[in-house]
Amino acid sequence: MRFILACDLVRHRFSVVLPVLFLLMTGFASRSLALSVQQLTVNGRTNPLGIAGDDISLSWAGETPERGMVQSSYRIRIGNKENSGEVWDSGEVKSDRQIDVVLPPNVRLEPASRYYWQVRVWDGHGVASDWSGPAWFETGLLSAADWSGAKWIAGKTSATNPSSLPLCRDVFKLAKTVKSARVYASAHGLYQLSINGQKAGDQYLAPGWTDYNRRIQAQAYDVTALLRKGENVMGVALGDGWYRGKVGLNWSHIYGDTLAFIAKLQVVYTDGSTETFITDEKWRSVQGPFVQADLQDGESYDARLEQAGWDGAEFDSSNWTPVAVVSDDSSKLVPQPDEPIRATEVLAARTRSEPVLGEYVYDLRQNVVGVARIRMSGKKGQTVRIRYGEELYRQGAKQGQLYTENLRTAKVTDTYTFAKAGTIAYQPTFTQHGFRYVEITGLDVAPDAKDVQGVVLGSDLPNIGDLRLSNPMLNQLVRNIAWGQRGNFLSIPTDTPARDERLGWSGDISLFSPTACRYRDTRAFLSKLMDDVRDAQKPDGNIPAVVPQPRHEFDETGVGWSDAFITVPYAVWHATGDTRIVRRNWEAMKHFYGFVHDSAMKDGNLLEEERSSWFSGDWLNLENVDRLEEHKVIATAYFAEDTRMMSEMAVAMGETKEAAEWSALVPKIREAFVAAYRHADGSIYTGTQTVYAMALGMDLIADPVQRKQTAAKFVEKLAADNYHLRTGFLGTPWLLPALSKIGRDDLAMRLLLNEDYPSWGFEIRMGATTMWERWNGIRADGSFGPVDMNSFNHYAYGAVGDWTFQHLGGLEILEPGYKKSRIAPLIGHGLNHAECGIHTPFGLLASEWQLINGELKLTVTVPDNTSAEVVVPATSAESVREGKAAAASAPGVKQASFRDGYLTVLLGAGKYEFTASQMGLAKR
């Protein structure tokens, strides 16, 4: 398969390739050796450094070239050394479980310790694999006491410029040769750590965003290679970040006024002895070259204030000022649980223009999140201004100039002042922009396009899924959704990375999370978000509309927004089979569900007509409707969905009483919905596309006759809208699923393939490289939509990605984690080829089909220990072949049945190649 940029990456990460090579080289492939264990993850991460020690969750994937592999038992061993099991040996456990396997409570992990672990599995014939290669995880500092008395230190800022930012440093002496060393660190504000002049680690914008009044993340760095015997220097530069800088709508100083830093260096020498160094009053500081830095406004860097070699041992800091020790906040420190923000790609500008004399505009041809890296030449004291934008004016007097009005109060401007004449490279450290274009002014000579790059920043979630189709517009849509996720998943899932706001709107992630889980392994990232949600939960169980919740702004609830506390854990569990995110939040989720339930049950009619706020109803839809009236219908639909999800998760949690109670409630809520909002002619109250999409997509109408009538009304409504969407945030995720559910894939494809306004295709025709916030972000004449809210990188409408992976890629989840999947790609409908793959926690699940000369070739890969129903359109059962055999009797096929022009086969794990003539089948 070729889709597999993503998979190459994952392959690399999970090192699937080596054992196979080994087998090929030795030519030795007995059954036990052919079965291997791969993809070892801890809390959804590969070899994580510096994690908490109290909820270790292990997952792995079996792999064998044989078909039909199931896992009958497993054994795990954990030790302080590779290939040992002195910390814990599970013994052989008869179970097919391989995801979210937890350590027993009596296994207590030490702080700052590395643990190696391995797994072996037995297949359905009782044949064992060898032990997997060792994977590891390392705990961070687990309590305030583990920080060994490290102090929070605040550095020097300029008396005339209180927003200027300090550099701090300390010298320490290592008497012996270092075997290994770790720094644990965090800050009030942002920090960048260096040792002996080199950046420690590969992360950016640490410590990330949490509600700092409750929880501050600490990072762990392996600094072994940066240290040497003798004198060493630890240096840190501090920036405002979310702590002191602008957050949301021009709010600042939310968490405090003083930036501070804390660190502990722990060294293990080759002779086994250890030594610890901590931040304390001995550290010294100076006002550095970061004159000011803000996530929204940008960074000002004055190279004249650089202290050359400041974080090296040779530097003389005798004229620096001692730091101040500020009040201790260590009780709030927790190890960061998810992948850090990293620079994941660097894109060179493709073109340069000069719309105004001396204003050079560079185009990356991709809307990204990050910062620019610029090589430029200037004179001593010359200040360069760098601005960023998602769009250029497309018409009028300003055509070709940077469009920044949609950024609202965010200044999104960096400046660099040259210390001396020459050529330098500048990349801001303490800011982040959402941009496709970079505008540079103040230089005598314009840098070449190749000297202006976009450094892409984002939480570095493993890339697991890809979809390629024989339609360029749809491929662009798949990419736009991916970029929207990439950019907005930056410590928290933000609504937009560009304008002021950049908040964790719970509704946006609620709608997008099923799609997000198709593209990336979201387990650690969204689990961290749920920690934030728990921090923000109110005494009555309710959740605010934005999380983290700054300053009690947007503190209101809202249907479709606060429900994220059910829908997001559900989406992650459903997509991965990993119960950890549900387990960790279950009590708090039940508390929230209780709030929803009680509000709906108050009047005894099972209708949830409350929980409304200013954004209630279908946000940003294109219908002419009273949104508060529409809200009632949506709210009861959500009550039914919340209850369904809770009942399924209760089963996974082993809570049979709740599971039974809630699953019995679901049909009752659905009946109440029908009684209240479905008219006798089948139409649904308020008549918007959204209410139909929810009623049918969420299966709210049980009676088949009623359902059919409503389906007809839905189609009538679409026809009245000239088969164009009119849905907003809440309705869009349900639009195409509802059409598929009523057997109208043809209409789903029609909406998806539209290229005139309003549609996904329209955005692409207008040049979108990420998802827009509103359908009319740019109008057909090139003018911009309402300026007060017009982000060009807002992932909500990317929620259609779940449908595209399921129906065009053909990968449907029948049991959580694709333990059982259904592979039924839509064949035809204007496409002649599709390939889709997802690295599930069980392994690679993939499907690829093509039509050549009227023959369908469908290749599927089903991960070990899972099964799949594969649906092949055909004229008869006999006309479908798998390899050389009749499909129904091919090895690995457990059942086959032919109905209505489709052969459905039930398969065990393995790779299968089906062929079936499509001649004589109705055109699709």
| Least Å from the CB of residue 501 to ligand BGC | 6
Our CB check for ligand BGC shows the closer of 488 and 754 to be 488
Q: Enter the tokens of residue 140.
A: 């961070």
- Asked whether position 507 contacts ligand BGC by CB under 6 A, the answer is yes
Nearer to ligand BGC, 292 or 557 (CB): 557
Query: 10 Å Cβ neighbour count for 444?
Result: 9
* Least gap, CB of 724 to ligand BGC (angstroms): 22
Q: How far is the CB of 543 from ligand BGC (least distance, A)?
A: 13
CB atoms within 10 A of CB 445: 10
One-letter identity of residue 558: G
* Residues from 719 through 778 that contact ligand BGC (CB under 6 A): none
User: Shortest gap between Cβ of 691 and ligand BGC (angstroms)?
Assistant: 18
CB-nearer residue toward ligand BGC: 496 or 513: 496
508 contributes a contact to ligand BGC by CB under 6 A: yes
Stretch near ligand BGC under the rule CB under 6 A, chosen from 305-313, 474-482, 494-502, 879-887? 494-502
Pick the closer one to ligand BGC by CB: 129 or 790: 790
For ligand BGC, which is the closer residue by CB, 547 or 846? 547
**Using the rule CB under 6 A, is 249 a contact of ligand BGC?**
no
Catalytic residue among 763, 773, 835, 882: 773
**Kind and range of the H or E run holding 803:** helix 801-803
How far is C-alpha 670 from the chain's CA centre? Answer: 32
Asked if 684 and 678 count as a contact pair (C-beta separation under 8 A), the reply is: yes
Q: At what angle do helices 732-741 and 689-697 cross, to 10 degrees?
A: 60
Query: Which of 146, 240, 460, 501 touches ligand BGC (CB under 6 A)?
Result: 501
The DSSP bridge pattern shows strands 284-287 and 166-174 to be antiparallel
Pairing of strands 359-378, 422-426: antiparallel
Closest CB to ligand BGC belongs to which residue? 615
Candidate segments 28-36, 502-510, 585-593, 759-767, binder of ligand BGC by CB under 6 A:
502-510
Pairing of strands 843-852, 833-840: antiparallel
Q: Is 773 marked active-site? A: yes
The interface region with ligand BGC, picked from 68-76, 474-482, 505-513, 828-836 by CB under 6 A, is 505-513
Closest CA to 792 of 812, 774, 766: 774
- Distance of closest approach, residue 773 Cβ to ligand BGC, in angstroms: 6
Q: How far is the CB of 496 from ligand BGC (least distance, A)?
A: 6
Kindly tell me which of 587 and 788 has the beta carbon lying closer to ligand BGC.
788
Site string for ligand BGC, 525-544 (x = CB under 6 A): --------------------
Cβ proximity to ligand BGC: between 464 and 511 the closer is: 511
Supply the DSSP string of 718-776, one letter for each residue. HHHTTT-----TTTHHHHHHHHHHTT-HHHHHHHHH--SSSSHHHHHHTT-SS--SSTT
Distance CA 561, CA 533 (A): 12
Interaction with ligand BGC in 794-823: which residues (CB under 6 A)?
Answer: 794
Determine which one of 501, 648, 812, 882 is catalytic: 501
How many residues are given for the chain? 924
Least gap, CB of 561 to ligand BGC (angstroms):
7
Q: Are residues 698 and 641 in contact, defined by beta-carbon separation less than 8 angstroms?
A: yes
Q: Classify burial at 651, counting beta carbons within 10 Å of its beta carbon; exposed 0-12, middle 13-18, buried 19 or more.
A: middle
| 497 contributes a contact to ligand BGC by CB under 6 A | no
Q: Which of 821, 844, 630, 585 minimizes the C-alpha distance to 63?
A: 844
| Identified binder of ligand BGC from the candidate list 74, 360, 505, 795, rule CB under 6 A | 505
* Residue 201 DSSP label: S
What is the radius of gyration, based on Cα positions, of the chain?
Answer: 28
| Minimal distance, residue 546 CB to ligand BGC, in Å | 8
Give dist(CA 809, CA 606) in Å, integer. Answer: 38
Q: How far is the CB of 607 from ligand BGC (least distance, A)?
A: 23
615: contact with ligand BGC by CB under 6 A = yes
Closest to ligand BGC by CB, 14 or 512: 512
Q: How far is the CB of 789 from ligand BGC (least distance, A)?
A: 6
Based on the residue annotation, tell me whether 501 is a catalytic residue of this protein.
yes
Q: How far is CA 636 from CA 56, 491, 672, 680, 717, in A?
A: 38, 32, 9, 19, 21
Tokens of 227: 């240290």
Q: How many CB atoms lie within 10 A of CB 25?
A: 8
Identify the burial level of 258 via C-beta atoms within 10 angstroms of its C-beta, where 0-12 means exposed, 13-18 middle and 19 or more buried. middle
Q: Which x/- pattern over 11-40 shows residues binding ligand BGC (rule: CB under 6 A)?
A: ------------------------------
Q: Which residues, at least 6 apart from 710, have a Cβ–Cβ distance to it below 8 Å?
A: 678, 682, 683, 684, 692, 695, 696, 701
User: Do 426 and 452 form a contact (C-beta atoms < 8 A)?
Assistant: no
Footprint (CB under 6 A) of ligand BGC, residues 293-352: none
Question: DSSP letter at 507?
Answer: H
Q: Please, is 397 exposed, middle or buried when counting C-beta atoms within 10 Å of its C-beta (0-12, 13-18, 19+)? A: exposed
Count interface residues toward ligand BGC (CB under 6 A).
Answer: 10
Using the minimum distance from each CB to ligand BGC, give the nearer residue, 360 or 619. 619
CB nearer to ligand BGC: pick between 507 and 737: 507
From the centroid of its chain, how far is CA 181? 31
CA–CA separation, 735 and 731 (whole Å): 6
Beta-bridge partners for 342: 203, 458
What's the Cα-to-Cα distance from 400 to each of 119, 172, 397, 403, 541, rounded to whole Å?
58, 54, 9, 9, 50
Give the binding range for ligand BGC (CB under 6 A) out of 311-319, 414-422, 493-501, 826-834: 493-501
Nearest distance from C-beta of residue 247 to ligand BGC, angstroms = 14
Instruction: Using the rule CB under 6 A, give the single segment among 138-146, 503-511, 699-707, 843-851 that binds ligand BGC.
Output: 503-511
Q: Is 359 in the site for ligand BGC (CB under 6 A)?
A: no
Q: Residue 630, interface with ligand BGC (CB under 6 A)?
A: no
Among 146, 338, 495, 609, binds ligand BGC (CB under 6 A): 495
Site string for ligand BGC, 821-850 (x = CB under 6 A): ------------------------------
- 500 near ligand BGC, rule: CB under 6 A: no
Shortest distance (Å) from residue 615 CB to ligand BGC: 3
Q: Which is nearer to ligand BGC, 463 or 510 (CB)?
A: 510
Inter-residue contact 544 to 538 (CB < 8 Å): yes
Q: Please report how close the Cβ of residue 438 comes to ligand BGC at its closest, in angstroms.
A: 24
Only one of the segments 54-62, 143-151, 499-507, 735-743 lies at the binding site for ligand BGC (rule: CB under 6 A); that segment is 499-507
Query: Which 772-791 residues touch ligand BGC, going by CB under 6 A?
Result: 789
Position 619 contacts ligand BGC (CB under 6 A): yes
Q: In this chain, which stretch among 254-262, 281-289, 495-503, 814-822 interacts with ligand BGC, using CB under 6 A?
A: 495-503
From residue 533, give the alpha-carbon distance in Å to each of 326, 487, 568: 29, 21, 11
**Helix residue spans in 653-682 (DSSP H):** 656-677
Catalytic residues: 501, 773
Residues that bind ligand BGC (CB under 6 A): 495-496, 501, 505, 507-508, 615, 619, 789, 794
